[in-house]
A = this chain, B = another copy of it.
Amino acid sequence: MGADELLLSGEEFEARLRQIGAERYHNLHRFHKRLHSGECTYPEIQAWALNRYYYQAMIPIKDATVLTRMQDAEDRRQWRKRIEDHDGLHPGDGGIERWLKLTDSLGFPRDYVQSTRGILPATRFAVEAYVEFCRTRSLLEAVASSLTELFSPTIISERVAGMLAHYDFVSSETLAYFSQRPVQAKRDSDFALDYVKKHAKTRAEQDLVCAALEFKCSVLWAQLDALWSAYVDGAIPPGAWVPGQGIGYATPPSGKVQAA
């Protein structure tokens, strides 16, 4: 069979990418289900917010890594928006700042959160693997690894609606991070999807794009696995944040403690 026959059409290629999301995106993870259905304890939500801060904080570093590899000014202009979204246009603005409003509301001092010294090692390893992937693989694969955003509007709406309904100590204000993400993610994933369709010119390249998306799904999945193991199953690894030991509010601000 020749290379032309193996090459997926744009439609087939996109369908394959969406299939990867349908099978591997972290909306399928038991921790996500627990979080949005109201079953998470207060410390589990604290741990989720604390750990995910590191992911949020490294996104602009990841995107700057991709930016260093783009030869085309228009591509860079488009990609630069991702950094602007996370870092904001002035102090107090941007996605990272909005994430800190969530950790603020859970009683974590900002310098503790930003030091990342309480996060799970597995969180650190997964996030750093993502940055490293974008540094060392082809630009095509680096762009492709962002394609999980194709699936994020759904998980965000589930998460926000579920969390607002089930947890007294969560408000639209503390979840402000998510309010802007669906529009940004749509714009970014439109760009990335067009990019991989245009630049993956062989079946081998299309396969690399798919593998990059699988890799990224595993980066997200591994973070929830680690949260479950440490804070649901209770096997907190040495050195990671321990609930109720003086860092972070021991009970939600409203005083209402969730059932375990």
Contact = CB atoms under 8 A, between A and B. Distances in A.
Interface residues of A, number: 28
A237 B221 CA distance: 7
Given A122-B126, A124-B129, A222-B121, A217 B238 contact: yes
A24 B226 CA distance: 17
Contacts of A124: 129
A128 interface: yes
A70 interface: no
A184 interface: no
Given A128-B132, A132-B128, A226-B225, A235 B30 contact: yes
A228 B235 CA distance: 10
A23 interface: yes
A219 interface: yes
B222 A125 contact: yes
Contacts of A221: 121, 237-238
Q: So how many copies of this chain end up in the complex? A: 2
Nearest to A130: B125
A233 B238 contact: no
Contacts of A219: 121, 125
A214 interface: yes
Contacts of A23: 238
B132 A218 contact: no
Contact of A122 (B30, B217, B222, B233): B222
A154 interface: no
A229 B230 CA distance: 10
A244 interface: no
B122 A226 contact: yes
Contact of A121 (B128, B218, B228, B235): B218
Contacts of A122: 122, 125-126, 222, 225-226
6 cross-chain pairs, A with B, having the tightest CB-CB distances, nearest first: A121-B218, A125-B125, A125-B129, A24-B238, A229-B229, A122-B222
9 contacts: A121-B219, A122-B225, A214-B238, A218-B237, A225-B226, A225-B229, A225-B230, A228-B235, A233-B233
Interface of A: 23-24, 30, 121-122, 124-126, 128-129, 132, 214-215, 217-219, 221-222, 225-226, 228-230, 233, 235, 237-239
Given A218-B237, A222-B226, 10 more contacts: A121-B126, A121-B219, A122-B126, A122-B225, A214-B238, A214-B239, A221-B237, A225-B237, A228-B229, A229-B233
